[in-house]
Amino acid sequence: MDFVNAIVLLLNYIFVPALAYGSQLALGAIFVTLIYGILRFANFATGDMMSFGTMFVILFTFYFQSVGISLGVLPTALLAIPFGIIFMVGYMLAIDKLVFKYYRTNKSPPVQLAMVSIGVMFVTQAVVRIIIGPSDRRFFDGEKFLIKAGEFKEMTGLNEGLAIKSTQVITIIVTLILVSTLFWFLNKTKTGKSMRAYSDNEDLALLSGIDPKKIVMITWVIAGILATIGGALYGLDKSFKPFTYFNNMLPIFAAAIVGGIGNPFGAFLGGYVIAFSEILLTYAYRKFFMYVLPESMEPDGLIQLLSTDYKFAVSFSILVIVLLYRPSGIFKGKVL
Amino acid sequence: MRKNLNVIAAYSIMMGLIILVGIFQSWNIALSIFNLCLISAVMTMGANIQWGYAGLINFGIMGFTALGGLAAVLISVNPVQEAWSAGGFNILFSLLLIIAMVLTVRYILKNYKKSKNRTYIVAAIIILGIVIIRFISEPGIEAIEGVDPAKTGFLGGLGLPIIFSWVVGAFFAGGLAFVIGKVALGLRADYLAIATLLISEIVIAIIKHEDWLTRGVKNVIGLKRPAPYEVNLQQTDWFISLVEKFNSSKLNLITDLTERQATLNQLVIEGSSVFVKLCYSGLFLVVVIILLILTQKALYSPWGRMMRAIRDNEEAANAMGKNVVKQHLLIFVLGSAIVGIAGAMLVTQDGLFTPGSYRPLRYTFLIWVMVIIGGSGNNFGAILGGFVVWFLWIEAAPIGLYLVNLITAELDDAHFLKVHLIESVPYFRFLMMGVGLLVIMRYRPKGILPEKIEIK
């Protein structure tokens, strides 16, 4: 029985939260990797673009709530996401036309595009803060828990409860659907294949009659969808605050590089690698060992490898180690 | 003279703007803007050496700034004797162990051939070392943090004048840059940018949470000053007579003696804070000028030429027998050290060290905006960028408020749009920076004062 308790403990505090957080990171990381693979620059505006999309989802959610439309047990935000995506994609295409296109046609070095993306970052940040303000916003409604800790205890008779938030389940399901659609698109459709060809070798792709304008446009559309959904899921699960979104850029970059930048599947797994290592290394295992070990060997301390303050530092250290030993990431990067 | 006309014109305009602020807002504000402009100028010089001279991207400026600030704390704060006696031994012993561990790993890496066994042994040594060090340091850290946590709770510093920290800050930052450079400089440009960005976050995380060393988010306040204190100034005779002399025309108009005394007191209070700021300006100006002379000399020396050659064509420079890796490391260390000086200067000016205030937007990206807008590769440009951008960063809110009022003049004062816009005036600075950066990059990619290389 103790052993089952220990497993439930780990599920509750490590596995489920890490899976949800990892999914959110994974969507962001695929966004980074797509931009890097096809448009060929590191997009430092990632976090702020995600907050831009989320902002529209929130505004529409508020609108629907005021009109009285809701999805019942599901959060209204799910209904608002498509509208958010429309605005987000429009914004992305506008930015591309106004800003990035010039440097792309001039074949500027990637570094210059990265600098330009910092300008976009500042502008996006200002727009988000001017429209919705810098404060913390919660826009979750509907049923909060799928399984409550108390109910679970009653149901199974265990000491440890397992609480699963509905946002966590929604996050994981939506991510799986979205990512599998994306991989199907990239691997099976003609447009997807031409995107991969373009990413692999631009000149060769142009020679075989692939229209670069179309590729770039589709990339921004997909990126907009990913950024909005990723941002909205993160906001639903935690809360929306522009500054947090800006900071999320860092673990997202870490996930993309760990997975091998330019490789969407790597980015997808990279998100989970980062999330799990962050939570595994900063979790206090005291209770776990209390269940597993006999009473005489019970530990005194918290058995925490690192204090939770170093959560971010963990993922960055992993990144540094990966960069040192395998600069192309766990899965070979730069092939879409 | 003629070819430098644009430089002179740009700087005159900038100075004029600051003087205008002094006349219309107050000299106090003008001087605090000026001082931070000077500090920003030092930071941009550091970034410019790396980016403008050598084409290295360093997005870790925040980390080096914070290390400079840490140096200011460790140099100037008086040592906390009880903390040292409580846990000093454990900390020193752990430090020794860390050094021993690093040396052993180095020894093994140098003297044994690469093999699986070697990797395992190195990993085992590192893991074992970390466990032992934690075991030894933990009671020490707890003891130190337990010493009067409301006031100290850390080891304190050396109790030396804070000015020394400017040099030590440079060494701290340079040392970290050496380690980072060894690890990350082989990476491609954008990887290097991301890696340095993340490493600087790690540095901040450590500074924030290692309370025994830095007091963490509890902040260190009341650092010693290199300049006199306002309160003391207000009671010194020579200063009062100086203020009297300066304002004699104004004071002579007042005939009533008590009223005259009251006005004089007010003037002395205002004058004292201006005087203190002027002292800082003087100190900072000296640093900026020394650095400017050194960097200009370096830029036009054979070494500077070599750096540009490496920047413009790494392979060709390599083929000509220049050690690209070594020079990159050198310039990375030098530039970061200059940023470290700026970090120490910043803490010196504020008189407090707040690890929570180090944010990448303010200390990394804004500095980059300064370098790009000012003109990378040109020291005068980079310094001007520091001035222009910092000036706009501070004055963006008043300008934004003016613009909002202008646009919404038609609307009623209570109109929700107007109220909302006026509330969000502080964020116009982000908009200004972003648009400024985008416009400059598009239409004047070399900055306001572009790089000019004279071949004599």
**pLDDT, tens digit, 9 for 90 and up, residues A202-227:** 889 889 989 999 999 999 999 999 99
**Are B133 and B280 part of one and the same domain?**
no
Number of domains in chain A: 1
Chain B partners of A130 at a C-beta cutoff of 8 Å?
421, 424, 427-428, 431
**Are B147 and B196 part of one and the same domain?**
no
Q: Is A114 on the interface with B (CB under 8 A)?
A: yes
**Are B303 and B414 part of one and the same domain?**
yes
Q: Is A306 on the interface with B (CB under 8 A)?
A: no
CB within 8 Å of A15: residues ≥ 6 apart: none
For residue B26, the tally of other CB atoms under 10 A from its CB is 14
Between CA B441 and CA A109 the distance in angstroms is: 13
**B289 vs A281, residue with greater confidence:** B289
Six token digits for residue B121 = 């042994």
**Are B344 and B252 part of one and the same domain?**
yes
- Residues A163/A145, Cβ–Cβ less than 8 Å: yes
Six token digits for residue A30 = 């695929």
- Residues B280/B32, Cβ–Cβ less than 8 Å: no
Identify the band that residue B46 occupies on the pLDDT scale cut at 50, 70 and 90.
Answer: very high
Query: What ipTM does the predicted assembly reach?
Result: 0.89
Cβ distance of A123 and B431 shorter than 8 Å: yes
- What is the reported pLDDT for B1? 54
| pLDDT averaged over every residue in chain B | 88
Question: If DSSP codes are grouped into helix, strand and coil, which group holds residue A257?
Answer: helix
- What is the reported pLDDT for A335? 42
Considering the domain boundaries, does residue B397 fall inside one? yes
**Are B238 and B376 part of one and the same domain?**
yes
Q: What is the CATH number of the domain that holds A150?
A: 1.10.3470
**Are B100 and B223 part of one and the same domain?**
no
Considering the domain boundaries, does residue A336 fall inside one? no
Q: Is A199 on the interface with B (CB under 8 A)?
A: no
Report CA torsion sign: A18, A24, A28, A30.
Answer: positive
Between CA B64 and CA B68 the distance in angstroms is: 6
- Residues B343/B67, Cβ–Cβ less than 8 Å: yes
Considering the domain boundaries, does residue B454 fall inside one? no
The DSSP annotation for A25-51 comes to HHHHHHHHHHIIIII-S--TTHHHHHH
What's the N-to-C CA distance of chain A in angstroms? 47
- Residues B354/B82, Cβ–Cβ less than 8 Å: no
**Are B44 and B130 part of one and the same domain?**
no
**Are B120 and B249 part of one and the same domain?**
no
- Residues A170/A142, Cβ–Cβ less than 8 Å: no
Number of domains in chain B: 2
Cβ distance of B201 and A126 shorter than 8 Å: no
Considering the domain boundaries, does residue B449 fall inside one? no
Considering the domain boundaries, does residue A332 fall inside one? no
| Residues spanned by the domain of A203 | 2-325
The tens digit of pLDDT for each residue in B244-277 reads 888 777 777 877 888 888 888 888 888 888 999 9
Considering the domain boundaries, does residue B396 fall inside one? yes
Cβ distance of B209 and A118 shorter than 8 Å: no
Chain A partners of B208 at a C-beta cutoff of 8 Å?
309
Q: Is A129 on the interface with B (CB under 8 A)?
A: yes
- Residues B332/B58, Cβ–Cβ less than 8 Å: yes
* Closest residue on chain A to B197 (Cα): A250
Cβ distance of A123 and B435 shorter than 8 Å: yes
Considering the domain boundaries, does residue B452 fall inside one? no
Considering the domain boundaries, does residue B92 fall inside one? yes
Question: B78 to chain A, minimum CA–CA distance in Å?
Answer: 28
**Are B134 and B67 part of one and the same domain?**
no
**What is the longest distance spanned by two Cα atoms in chain B?**
92
Chain B partners of A317 at a C-beta cutoff of 8 Å?
202
**Are B164 and B72 part of one and the same domain?**
yes
pTM of the model: 0.91
Q: Which residue of B366, B417, B438 to mutate against A (max A Cβ within 10 Å)?
A: B438
- Residues A111/B445, Cβ–Cβ less than 8 Å: no
Cβ distance of A130 and B424 shorter than 8 Å: yes
**A61 vs A334, residue with greater confidence:** A61
Considering the domain boundaries, does residue B107 fall inside one? yes
At which of B122, B154, B186 does a domain end?
Answer: B154
Q: How many CB pairs under 8 A join A and B?
A: 121
Average the pLDDT over A260-285 and give the result.
88
The tens digit of pLDDT for each residue in B65-123 reads 999 999 999 999 888 888 888 888 888 888 999 999 999 988 988 888 888 888 888 88
- What is the reported pLDDT for A116? 93
| Helix, strand, coil share (%) of chain A residues, nearest 5 | 75, 5, 20
Cβ distance of A320 and B194 shorter than 8 Å: no
- What is the reported pLDDT for B42? 95
The tens digit of pLDDT for each residue in A107-139 reads 888 888 999 999 999 999 999 999 998 889 888
Between CA A28 and CA B299 the distance in angstroms is: 42
Question: If DSSP codes are grouped into helix, strand and coil, which group holds residue A284?
Answer: strand
Average the pLDDT over A313-334 and give the result.
76
Chain B partners of A126 at a C-beta cutoff of 8 Å?
427-431, 434
- What is the reported pLDDT for A293? 76
Identify the band that residue B2 occupies on the pLDDT scale cut at 50, 70 and 90.
Answer: low
In eight-state DSSP terms, residue B79 is P
Question: B342 to chain A, minimum CA–CA distance in Å?
Answer: 23
Cβ distance of B438 and A130 shorter than 8 Å: no
**Are B247 and B182 part of one and the same domain?**
yes
- What is the reported pLDDT for B49? 92
Considering the domain boundaries, does residue A334 fall inside one? no
* Closest residue on chain A to B417 (Cα): A131
At which of B100, B123, B154 does a domain end?
Answer: B154
Between CA A228 and CA A85 the distance in angstroms is: 6
Considering the domain boundaries, does residue B102 fall inside one? yes
Question: In Å, how far are B194, B327, B339, B445 from B181, measured between CA atoms?
Answer: 13, 11, 15, 28
Considering the domain boundaries, does residue A95 fall inside one? yes
At which of B119, B154, B189 does a domain end?
Answer: B154
| Residues spanned by the domain of B112 | 80-154
Question: B437 to chain A, minimum CA–CA distance in Å?
Answer: 6
Percent of chain B whose pLDDT exceeds 70? 98
Which of B184, B205, B368 comes nearest A310 by C-beta?
B205
